[in-house]
Structure formats: C-alpha cells, structure tokens
Structure 1
C-alpha cells in the first residue's frame, strides 16, 4: 500500500471539503452576511485564528467541516452588530444561493480536475460506445483459490441459448443495462435461474432466455468458495475507451463526461440504502462489494493503490467523482444537509404564497426547534452508517486489484 498515495488522497478529500465550505462562505459574504466560523473537521478544536469577523480553524475529527453564518435560522442568537447581517433576514433567493455555494464549488472542482486530466493525460472517452458487447463465448468455469479459473470444456449457457459473438446486450429481464458489470452482477446473483437477455444483432432486437449455471467463486473476504451464477460470456473491449483532448476540445468533452458522471453518481445515491446491509455483513466476513460505499479511510486506501501503480489519471478522476458525490449528497432535502435548508426555504415561500392567496400576512421564518428531532435523528443515522463503513474499510477493505 502506498502511504504517500493514501496521504495525497486524504489531502484531496480535505481540500474538497474545505472548498465546499468556502463556497458557502464566499456566497454569504457576497450578500453581506456575517460568517462567524470556518472550520475543517468536527469536535475539539486543534487550531484556530481570527481574521476580521471570522474564526478559521481545524478540528480533531476530519469527517467534514462547517461554515457558521450568523442568523442561519431564526432561532440563532444574534448580537446587535450581527443583526443587520443575519442570513434569515435576507431574500430567499440569496439564502438558496448561499446553500448552493458549496455544491457549486464541488461541481466546479470536479470539472476542473476532469478538464486538466483530459488535456494533460486521458479521461474515459465520453463519446465512446460503451454498450455491453459479447467478446467471447466460453464454458462456465469454477474459480480456484489462487483466483485463476479451472479447466472446463464445451459450450456455456449463453452459447447453448444462441447468443453470438458481437451481440450487443441491451437489457437483462427487461431492465436496461449500460455496462457489462451490470450484466455480471445480475447473473452472478442468480445461479440456477433463468435470465432473459435483450440483444441487438445486425440492427435487430431479439430476446434470448438463458439458464444461469451455478459455479464456485473464491471469496477474498472469507477465503472460502461461494456459489455464484455464470453464463459464459466475456465483454468485448470498448473501442477508444480513453481519450486525450486539446484545450478547446476538452471543454465540451469535460461537460459531457461530467454529465455522465452525475448520472452514475445519482444512481449510486439511489442504491446507497440497499448497500448498507452488505457493508455490515462484510464486517463479519461476507464478500465486500467493490461498488459499495466507502469512507474516507476506504477511499484513501484505494487512492494509495492507484498511486502505487502510477495510475494518476484514475487517481484524479476518482477525486473528481468524489466531489460530484459530495455535491449531490448535500442536495438531499433533509437536515442537516444543505438540501434540508433549501427545502425549508422552499416551504416558507410556498406557505407565504398560499397565505397571500388567502389575504393573510407572511408566516415568518420557520422555527427550527421543531426540526431538531429530525436533524438529530439524521445526524445520528449518518454517523452510525459512517462508523460501520469505516470499520468495514479497516477489517475488510475494498480491493480493486485483488
């Protein structure tokens, strides 16, 4: 494991969090709001210094950060000096812009990283056709303890069902797939069952039922063999999978790839709750899902592996993906996330619109004390999940290179 790589990726995470909070701070100051504190980390104070009206500092637990804006809620106690600069007294659109400042900073950082990688190295080609395509038809083989596949002969399940080399796999059981890994995941989880592959061959679509064969796979987590499904299909390599771009060409390429990454991140967020039981099971020896959630510890370990193998393009693109995750995750409309504050502002506006329609005066700022139980519950849930993921990253870390 590359210690330097781990440290570099951890530093990249810290910088991403710092810039997220800086986005809030810059936007708040632009609208005349008072920023009391700008801290990286939570918990006991490690270091701080005051400049102007703001205390800048580092805290002991490097799991996030915060930007304390005076009057962020109507329940915030204000000094006479802070009162004219209170956030809750500003127009709703300004408050929304401030809450989106961190999200915007993460998106800009992700795009900047992607742009420079596109110009100076290579990025996943956003124009490449990544439709899963059959590259080879083989028999379904068991896996040995050393990771190699044991000998087998004869046609595999897919070949017996009529699948041909060059077929494009469009869907599995009617559900669209965009990567061969999605096909593999479905098949692996269904040994002995039938799956229906929607294929495109010579411009025409057809559906082929395939009976999944049960095979043995070696579990790195437990050191034991486990049963998995296989149909004897390998993926054809994607043509021009990586590409470099000139300074001007890189602009639309960066925008297109960022959009694709946002889509993938959004799908990952939607599937996040369903992956938590697997993370908890991995603590006790179950197979760790390489596509499952990781903590700062796990992400830094993977970053260390990439640096150790001089895979700098992947290192930087992983950091770009992390920034997009931070951006979208913070948009979840629940406190204490940025999206939760935006939801409250939207509620105030909608409520006041309805009150005006009834000839009533605006209802005033929301009393955040009523939201504290939900805020505490969400914070406790996020902390609990974070602890479980960190434990899993220590006892059964994700290994992308086996």
Structure 2
C-alpha cells in the first residue's frame, strides 16, 4: 500500500509539474499572439515528441522529458549588420552568435517580416517575456491562498499543550528539573494543559507570535485570561527573566542562539489553523523574501550539496532540490500519517512552491532565462531614449544574439548544477516527516 501511495504521489506531482510548465508557456504564447508575433511551436517538455497537433499556424505538443518547455517565436534576434543572417564565421564565439541568429529565422515565410519578435517595441517584448514567469507567480499565489485560507496549515496555537514544572535555561543540557530549580511561573499561576489564551495583561491574544512577544517583553506581575473547558478563567502570574531561544523579527527561532527575556513556562500546542487573508498575505510575503534569499545563498550551498552527493555527508533540509527530488518528496507526502486533506494541502504547497521558484529563477537577468531577454529589451529602450534626448541617430535594436556566448556559459553552469542536484536527489535525497 505504501508503494502504491508513493507512486500516486509522484504521479500527482508530475501532473502538477507539467501543468505549471504549460501554464508558464501559455503566458508567452498568449501575449506573443496578442502582439502579432508568429509562433510556430508551443511545446511542453524536451526531447522526442510524444504527441502534437497543428492548430492554425502553431504546432502544439508534448515531449518525452518533462523538465521544461518552450514556444518558438519567429525573429527572436535582429539580423546581422548586413541586414540578413550572415555566413558562419570560423570564430567559435562568432559561430555561436550566428547559429542563434540563424535559428531565429527558421521557418521564415513571406509576410513574416512584420511579425518577428525583434520588430516589436521593447515594452511589448518585456510583456511577452515577463508573461511566462508571471503566470507561475499567479498560480503560486492562487494555490498558496487556497491552501492557507481553505485547508489551513500546521502552526503554533495559543492553546497550552503542557506546563513546565520548573525554570530551566534554554542552554541547560537537561529536560529534567534540577533539585534546586524553582517552580515555573505558569505552574505557580495555575495554568493547565488545554487552556486557551484569550488575553494577556489586558491585550487580546490573536495568535502565537503576538502572545510570545508579549510574554518575552514582560518581567514581573501579569494578568492572564484563558478559556478552560468553555469557561473564562483569570490567572495571575509573576514572570521572571530567563535564558530562552532567540527569535528574529518574524518570530522565527534563530538556530543555536539564545537571549534573556520574560519567561512564563509552558509549551504551546500545534494544530491546523486556517489563515485570514492578511495572514496569508504576510505568509506569502515571507515566502518571496526567503525565496530571494535562497537564490542569493545558492552558491554557498554547493559545497554541502557536493558533500551530500559524493562524500556521504548529511543532506540538509534546506538543500537545493531538483525535479527528481521534488517528485520523491511528492511521493512521500501521500505516505505521511496525516489526514487526507492535509496530504492534499501539502502536495499543493509543494506545487505552489515550485511555481514560486520558477518565477524567481526566470527573473534572473541572465540569458537564456526570460529575465535575460527582459534586460536586453530594457537596455534597448534606454539606448533609444538616450539617443532621442541627445539628438543622436537611432542605435536600432539591441542585438541580444551577441550575448549568446555568455548564455552558453550560463547554461553550462546551470547544467552542471542540475546534474549535481540530480545525483544528490538520487543518492542522498531530502526527506520529510
């Protein structure tokens, strides 16, 4: 049964992956057609074609390897200095440029002279290239919102799971009360497991983050109102200063660090809680910030990834993960000992996170990514506006093809990194529990 559920989880993730890719390319396709650019192909996947069908002037199809997709537009790059695709040079770098330019003119037909990508105004080209990643962002926001507000997420609540018997510093290497330890303020005040905080020192308690901050700011007497078995109960506690785990501005624990703060002495319960629209927005904002930070930190994680792949080192939970690793996690989701609705919510979270990553990654201003083409169009716009301001001749389209040698280097780095992640995902995968 476990094997069957694992396979089911992988299949569901792959379907979500293919839909995400198709959705991304649909953004490019729809805006390209809106601006009159001819699009000969719309493909999901790479490699041999499994299925395709022509509709109008475009061939729609699915290929064997679900690791991406593409649309092919006529005239992605402007012609050479002589106004046409030049003959191939003996220079390898020049050859790359001319190969890219030649590919951009494949299937050029009479009447296509005014339907080429490079002939469109820079702002239209920006929209066409941005539309793909933007579709992933839309899907990520929609799925995250549905899960956060519809299913809810596992979070720390304002209910009490257990009450500490005594005061022990976070740095103490024990989970037992020393003989000389004093009674915890929570126990002394009469707080009990199952109590739900309603107010703290006259302030209504809305969520755990706010309650935790109020407790840590308080040293001395405090009035606590809780709900116990449906009835309101007022307690009086005397909070003390203690060494507790450090939290950052977002309420997240800072691993390995402590601080001095007010201490009450209880463990909050965790549960599935539906988020309000404001909470969902805050949560997604944190996801974007964390995603950007993870992209910035990506080079730093390569040594640990290499160690996990080839030296038997432990795979860290925040280690970069590829499609294979994500599919394995998707397979594990359906084997978790949690309610079916939470399995579905977790799977949707995985797909939404994948779409958010696609958006952020594709916005990097590097060819061959969408962000590289956006940067080229913006640079062309700046050059042309500057020429008009200084009354100089129009410099014409910016030849993005000249950056193809750089694009091949970037693509080579991406391929090497992808292979490293693939090996790590197969040999030493990230696991969930």
SS at 2:75's partner residue? coil
TM-score by length of 2: 0.68
Deviates more, 1:342-351 or 1:54-63: 54-63
Aligned equivalent of 1:216: none
2: CA distance, partners of 1:381 / 1:42: 19
8 A contact 1:111–1:254 mirrored in 2: no
What's the counterpart of residue 206 of structure 1?
none
CA distance in 1, matches of 2:168, 2:111: 70
- 1:114/1:123 contact within 8 Å kept: no
The answer for the alignment partner of 2:189 in structure 1 is none
**Deviation at 1:351?**
1.7
Name 1:147's counterpart in structure 2. Answer: none
Structure 1: any 5+ residue segments left out of the alignment? 129-133, 142-150, 156-162, 188-194, 203-233
Q: How many angstroms apart in 1 are the aligned matches of 2:259 and 2:177?
A: 26
* Alignment-derived partner of residue 307 in structure 1: 334
Contact persistence 1:69–1:87 (CA under 8 A): yes
Q: Return the alpha-carbon distance in structure 2 between the equivalents of residues 327 and 235 of structure 1.
A: 41
Larger radius of gyration: 2
User: What are the equivalent positions in structure 2 for 1:7-156 lying under 5 Å apart?
Assistant: 7-74=11-78, 75=101, 76-77=104-105, 78-123=108-153, 137=170, 139-140=172-173
Q: TM-score, normalised by structure 1?
A: 0.73
- More displaced, 337-346 or 39-48? 39-48
1:164 is displaced (CA, Å) by 5.7
- 8 Å contact from structure 1 (residues 275, 292) kept in 2: yes
Distance 1:340 1:113, change over 3 A: same
Partner of 2:237: none
Q: Give the equivalent residue in structure 2 for 1:283.
A: 309
Contact 2:43 2:62 in 1 (8 A): yes
Whole-angstrom CA distance in 2 between matches of 1:70 and 1:126? 53
Q: How many residues align?
A: 328
What is the Cα-based RMSD across aligned positions, in Å? 3.1
Question: CA–CA distance in 2 between the matches of 1:261 and 1:292?
Answer: 16
Out of 148, 156, 169, the position equivalent to 2:246 is 169
Three-state SS of the structure 1 residue aligned to 2:40 is strand
Q: 1-side partners of 2:140 and 2:172: how far apart?
A: 42
Residue 343 in 1 paired to residue 375 in 2? yes
Aligned to 2:358: 326
Distance 2:398 2:128 in 1: 18
Q: CA deviation at 1:136?
A: 7.2
Pairwise CA distance, 1:327: 0.4
User: Residues 139 and 152 of structure 1 are in contact (CA less than 8 Å); yes or no, is this contact kept in structure 2?
Assistant: no
Q: What is the alpha-carbon distance in structure 1 between the residues aligned to residue 170 and residue 295 of structure 2?
A: 34
CA drift of 1:5 comes to 0.4
* 1:259 is the counterpart of 2:285: yes
Please state how far the C-alpha of 1:199 moved relative to its aligned partner.
Answer: 4.8
Aligned partners of 2:50, 2:30: CA distance in 1, in Å?
Answer: 24
Given that residues 126 and 257 in structure 1 are in contact (C-alpha distance below 8 angstroms), is that contact kept between their aligned partners in structure 2?
A: no
Q: Give me the whole-angstrom Cα distance separating, in 2, the residues matched to 1:346 and 1:124.
A: 43
1:51–1:126 distance in 2 versus 1, CA, 3 Å: farther
CA distance in 1, matches of 2:281, 2:168: 30
Structure 1: how far apart are the matches of 2:177 and 2:274?
A: 41
Tell me the SS of whatever aligns to 1:292: coil
* Cα offset, 1:242, TM superposition: 4.4
How far, CA to CA, are the matches of 2:273 and 2:141 in structure 1? 16
Per-residue Cα deviation, 1:218-270 (whole angstroms, up to 9, x for no partner): xxxxxxxxxxxxxxxx9955x7774225xxx54x4443332221112111111
